[in-house]
Structure 1
Amino acid sequence: MILIITVLFSLFYLFQINKMTFALCQSREIPEEKQPKIYRTVNILITILILSFYLEVLLNV
């Protein structure tokens, strides 16, 4: 049950972070060739954050 809730939360959270990253790229006028690197970095960091959150919850339950 916790896995399903975490996956749904993670997808929603990742989508929101990508929307904010897009807004950042637009407001700062970041060139198109640098944007994939920014998205990749943000998505990897958020994925690490989500995995560590899941492990913390899993080990404390």
Structure 2
Amino acid sequence: MALYFIPLATVILFIINQLTNTLCIQKEIPEEKQPKVFRTINVLITILLISSYVEVLFA
């Protein structure tokens, strides 16, 4: 299961980072606030991916 899930999670995280970058550009978020935005979104997506992996693992 991890053989498929880890590469998929990496791709999802990469795509989310691209979308976050687009969001920062469109909303004109200042450069000094962008790292906090990226960190928050990455932590939340990582929690979501881990919880979905655990759910699939024990379901």
> What TM-score comes out, normalization by structure 1 length?
0.95
Q: Aligned-pair RMSD on alpha carbons?
A: 0.4
- Determine what percentage of the aligned residue pairs are the same residue: 49
C-alpha deviation, 1:14, in angstroms? 0.1
Question: SS of the residue aligned with 2:2?
Answer: helix
Provide the aligned length of Structure 1 versus Structure 2.
59
For structure 2, the residue ranges without an aligned partner over 5 or more in a row are none
Give every structure 1 segment of 4 or more consecutive aligned residues whose post-TM-superposition deviation is greater than 4 Å.
Answer: none
For structure 1, the residue ranges without an aligned partner over 5 or more in a row are none
Does 1:11 pair with 2:31?
no
C-alpha deviation, 1:53, in angstroms? 0.5
Report the counterpart of residue 41 of structure 1 in structure 2.
Answer: 40
Residue-by-residue CA offset, 1:24-59 (whole Å, 9 max, x unaligned) = 000001000000000000000000000000000000
> What TM-score comes out, normalization by structure 2 length?
0.98
